[in-house]
Homo-oligomer: A and B are copies of this chain.
Amino acid sequence: MATVLMTLGACSTQGNENQETAANDLDKGQAAIENIMTRTSVRQYKDQPVEQEKIDIMLKAAMAAPTAVNLQPWHFIVITDKQTIGLLSGQQPTNAPLLIAVCGDTDKTTTPDGKMKLPDFWVEDVSAATENLLLAAHALGLGAVWTGVYPAMDRTAEVANVLNCPKNIVPMAVVRIGYPDESPEPKNKFKEENISYNKFGGKKE
């Protein structure tokens, strides 16, 4: 990855006066891509709480995700209470000191003028927010794993019940977060067969 990016230097520099800035931008861009490529699910955590400052950064990153017509149809529930963590972990106990339940808010799926109704796009918006949250966790030296909730409806009802969610707040995922107590290798999921060019099945020219 580093090698690939170094060869892109030429594309980013436009004239000598900008070369230093461009090199700096390239380093930053490279770091951002490395962060994406090295993130992986972490399920074992140290017995160490996550600082509120880091929680705030993760929430800011999550809310920086794009949403369909900027509806921001989401709600985040930060859980550090041990009993609630136990209740939410269900069949898969965890030693995570922090959970964040990432929820859709179905009351926020219509534009303010009432003209555009997007009842079903919140899942995509909330998923993008969850990915940002995972990437921010990794960037902050934390480990995290996305555990699925919606649209498994039994699980959704269970989580909504524990968190006292009103009808419009739909828990989509529960992210477990903590200081990593394991160092799993990121999976290599890149497959050429999953890419087409110009139409399905089309080859690279």
Contact = CB atoms under 8 A, between A and B. Distances in A.
A92 interface: no
Contacts of A60: 1, 37, 190
Contact of A29 (B35, B67, B70): B35
Interface in A71-127: 72, 74-81, 84, 105, 118, 120-121, 123-125, 127
Given A81-B198, A120-B151, A64 B37 contact: yes
Contacts of A138: 32
Contacts of A32: 31-32, 34-36, 135-136, 138-139
Interface string A174-198: 0000000000001101110011111
Main secondary structure of the interface of A (DSSP, over half): mixed
A202 to B, nearest CB: 8
A164 interface: yes
A23 interface: no
A197 B76 CA distance: 8
Interface of A: 1, 4-5, 7-8, 11-12, 25, 27-37, 39-41, 51-54, 56-57, 59-61, 63-68, 70, 72, 74-81, 84, 105, 118, 120-121, 123-125, 127-128, 130-132, 134-136, 138-141, 145-146, 148, 151, 162-166, 169, 172-173, 186-187, 189-191, 194-202, 204
Contacts of A124: 123-124, 127, 130, 148, 172-173
Contacts of A204: 52
A104 to B, nearest CB: 11
Contacts of A164: 199-201
